[in-house]
Structure 1
């Protein structure tokens, strides 16, 4: 695909208008690395709080000393500038220090998710050429440590540390990074060939993002770090505060309604990022949980206008932004401040470019499209990553010469299709390819189909996706047996995938079919397959009656829980022993259910507990025990819910106060 350089008057006029927009977005950036900018923050305000957890507050000076200790140890282990270091640690203040220490040592960090199968971790480590793995107390016994040299980062950070209150060490390690063009991290996304692809992001990319003028309002002084560090939203959560003098507030657990209400209400966080799916789930179940925050950024998929309206109504002092951008353009390429009165029947725009970013809508001949016309989104500027690690062919296809920029510049072909509105804002319309997003995760169907077809009992596999307006959806797969008359077990196939792919890429259902229906053009007819799945789902099992030992109060609780399930899952008839996840549930929908259960029954359930009690019957019995042995369910409006919640809150405050006095 080459650019058509013949431009008429309209093309020239449009180009002139867009160049004015690009000039407005241009700002001067320092020629500095991430450690250099962090060092400036340390020098300016050494006593300011850089990282905060439930247990401690860590100043910039102390965080600097912690990272220096680990950086020295990394060098002793042979880490040199240009190396890549894998990081498999839980979210904590030690993780923040570890990532910065890797950067100081001149290396790039390669984040690993503990939820991913070991086979996928091996692919990530091998593709990135990592020779060292950083772990902590919670991951030191992980299977990966038997295949790769490893270092206990938390132990090294705490080794020889001065006692609390003592002066901070003043022997700075410095910065061994080769320069702004060196890699800061390699983050992996789904790949169409059956293996994840690593996006190489430089210091310059992250510095440009973190110093964007949009963060200077004062609303981003205290940002919640709750995303996995293997997800690019963590770039916003970590580097925006650390490079601008703010505070990273580390979330100990899942970012559920209870946690956000506690942190936002106390002023401990001023802003956060929520994927469109999680934003929608919280907006539907408990929009007031975002009260106390100044800004919430959402995106990663289509943002439901109705969810925005609910949040804005419940939290009139809150500003909501839609942020758009693939990992290849360093988290956000565009942003849109959503008006307080946004029509619910109109999509939420992705807005205009971030600083030092240019966004083009081009047709298939790489010509600028006119306002009102659709085109593929191309992103150029300082946020565009170096490319894909060890994949020069794919890099050349997606990272093209910037035909509108300075010589040597590049633009990234996102694959997204958008339309430019008369006011200049962009509206996403879909994809130019078959890639899609569910729950904020980018998924290439080819990766799942390739792995599934690698099973010895499968000859062909087709992935089916059903999206919902809230940004969530369901995955299903249809497989054709490798041998006629032999039927592979669908659950065994799901287990096969679970051993090789992240959980969000494992289809909820796998259907075995003798062959695949074809269109007149000999392509797989997805419409027929989708209609067959819909027909199979048309008659779910009716609710199961309670067994004899169950009391009338338990039956009432089960009925109320079933109502909440139906609201979250969009399913009318559910058996009390069905698994929430087998009926289309996922972690995002579970957070929405969790908020509803807590509000309806006046209880404080750890959201992690719901992963273990995933049926209506189990949840009802748990709620009965939480209410007390002689009491029925405590519903909202019942005086017991208020008194019980007050008593629990007082008890928690007493425990916290006692633990602090003990420390």
Structure 2
């Protein structure tokens, strides 16, 4: 989506008529990112272009294994033909249950070449029950995986597995001919579906199109300095939306993807570009990463001190945006010593700060951030009701455009930057992943011996849960969560109480519980010391 002068005049006239003209001008200038064409409509077309320009360039390296752009393209074409033979067609959703590896890259590229959408899950750590729930929502019964992970997959007779490592071993990487796949793919076709935790305990699949993804990967500053001759770290879980930024952003720009093994630091020391959560970045030493030129963080609030430190070492970007607006829809290049913000809307995107009635807040006032523009995704897979709840018509753009309710609080600074001020509900970020606290509590309450449960965020890496009555089996509760939830959703501490404390209004006193949990944590840390 691009913004024409006619769009802009309509934007001010209809939505901000009650404001002085000067305020309208500021709102319009700050709320809209620049108009910039991505250059490609489909992500895999950009990757194919890099394979044609530099076929022998290294596309990826993983634990001593290397694949060139020509080899990656050939293998993906060969796999795409196999997918077609097995019934995968344009518009399908295909499970990609893998771990970080070169076969993973071949798998996702082949799915896109067919015109289907890949659905990534890290099968090493996602419980089989959660994988089964994801599979239920997909149109294709085929599972792309790796042979060592077969025992981790859910038992289902309706699905069939294709092991990518075995497929790649069938034909030598250099021996096979390259037969391009000529499937028709449109920019509005889905590229991937990313599942997040849901309020009902079932995951929600966010439908991300090629147009959505190209808009952030192929424009500035989202390209993050990725270019031929540069190395990009691949450190994130493939089930995390920011992993697409690392992987597809790197390959679309002809850089070399450095896929990490168990440890992050040795790989990060070899990279020019790194995309991470603040929690991961905080584990690295800048002096041990002398090659780093560009670092971007998102997924959770970034501490000012961390941003100041890394901004003194390289170009440092702080971003924000839910999966529903395609990875990030704001980015800010931070200058040490200045206020850390999430910046301004990225190209072809918008961000509005609105009050409870959906009206634009006065500039500088705190409100809820709504996101519009080219990054707004197509809603939730198989869930039109939830889509209608969270995606609304955009009154500032009109013409059928939608905006998404982020549930983030923010305000505009005096120089037109967005300041992130927390969440408006019980959806939190833990280790960079979105977690619905109510979904964790509902999982605990599903046990017959647990009548009430409350889950709280203890810090950026840990959840704490309280259950009642006092006789609840804590160890059984933890196992129950581990079997049904992603690892980052499992509470680090579970406490059983006879009754949960209530406020004067009859609601659970979460502030009191959190204070008590933090006191217990402080006592434990003091004892350990």
Provide the TM-score with structure 1 as the length reference: 0.73
**Pairing partner for 1:174 from 179, 182, 205:** 182
Q: Does 1:260 align with 2:260?
A: no
Look up the match of 1:518.
Answer: 502
Equivalent residue, structure 1, for 2:24: 15
Shift of 1:475: 1.4
- Contact 1:67–1:157 at 8 Å: present in 2 too? no
> Which residue in 2 is equivalent to 1:508?
492
Partners in 1 of 2:292 and 2:20 — Cα distance? Answer: 43
Distance (whole Å) between structure 2 residues aligned to residue 6 and residue 93 of structure 1: 49
The reply on whether 1:329 has 2:325 as its aligned counterpart is yes
Q: CA deviation at 1:365?
A: 1.6
Decide which moves more: 386-395 or 529-538: 529-538
Match of 1:196 in 2: 203
* Cα pair 2:77 2:180 within 8 Å, conserved: yes
**1:322-401 equivalences in 2 (<5 Å):** 322-342=318-338, 348-401=340-393
| Residues 219 and 294, structure 1, Cα contact 8 Å, conserved in 2 | no
Cα shift at 1:79 = 0.7
**Does the 8 Å CA contact 2:231/2:273 hold for their aligned counterparts?**
yes
The equivalences for 1:243-254 within 5 A come to: 243-254=252-263
Count residues in correspondence.
513
SS at match of 2:283: helix
Answer whether contact 2:282 2:306 (CA < 8 A) is retained: yes
Distance apart, 1:534 and its partner CA: 4.1
Question: How big is each residue's C-alpha offset from its partner over 1:277-331, in whole Å with a ceiling of 9 and x where there is no partner?
Answer: 112233xxx3322322001111211111122333355x3xx11110111111111
| Distance in 1 between residues matched to 2:111 and 2:362, nearest whole Å | 46
> Which one is further off, 108-117 or 446-455?
108-117
Q: Do residues 206 (structure 1) and 213 (structure 2) align?
A: yes
C-alpha offsets along residues 168-189 of structure 1, whole Å, 9 cap, x if unaligned? 6232223343x11111111111
Q: Does 1:222 align with 2:231?
A: yes
Match of 1:104 among 110, 113, 116: 113
1:135 and 2:145 correspond: yes
Equivalent residue, structure 2, for 1:237: 246
- The structure-2 alpha-carbon separation of the partners of 1:23 and 1:154, relative to structure 1 and needing over 3 Å to count, comes to same
Aligned CA RMSD, in angstroms, stands at 2.3
Aligned to 1:122: 132
Do the aligned partners of residues 520 and 50 (structure 1) sit closer, same or farther apart at CA in structure 2, a change above 3 Å counting? same
Q: Which runs of 5+ in 1 are unaligned?
A: 264-268, 541-570, 576-663
Shift of 1:54: 4.0
Q: Deviations over 1:33-56 (max 9, x none)?
A: 223232222333333332233424
Rounded to whole Å, the distance in 2 between the matches of 1:458 and 1:129 is 36
TM-score by length of 2: 0.91
2:103 corresponds, among 94, 113, 120, to: 94
Give the CA deviation at 1:22.
5.9
- Counterpart-to-counterpart distance in 2, 1:10 and 1:307: 38
Residue by residue over 1:339-396, the C-alpha shift from the partner in whole angstroms, topping out at 9 and shown as x without a partner, is: 0333xxx5x2000111111111111121212221011111111111100111111111
Give the secondary-structure state (helix, strand or coil) at the position aligned to 1:429: strand
Task: Give 5+ residue unaligned stretches, structure 2.
Answer: 1-12
Alpha carbons 1:36, 1:175 under 8 Å: kept:
no
CA drift at 1:214: 1.6
* CA offsets 1:536-555 (integer angstroms, 9 cap, x no match): 44643xxxxxxxxxxxxxxx
- The structure with the largest strand share of the pair is 2
Distance 2:417 2:430 in 1: 24
User: Taking structure 1 as reference, are residues 322 and 152 closer, same or farther at Cα in structure 2, changes over 3 Å only?
Assistant: same
**Alignment-derived partner of residue 68 in structure 1:** 77
**Structure 1 14/156 Cα, relative in aligned 2: closer, same or farther at 3 Å?**
farther
The structure in which a higher percent of residues are helix is 1
Q: Greater CA deviation, 494-503 or 154-163?
A: 154-163
CA 1:400–1:134 in 2, change beyond 3 Å: closer, same or farther? Answer: same
User: 1:215, CA displacement in angstroms?
Assistant: 4.8
Higher normalized contact order (CA 8 Å, seq sep 6+, divided by chain length): 2
- The offset of 1:58, in angstroms, is 2.5
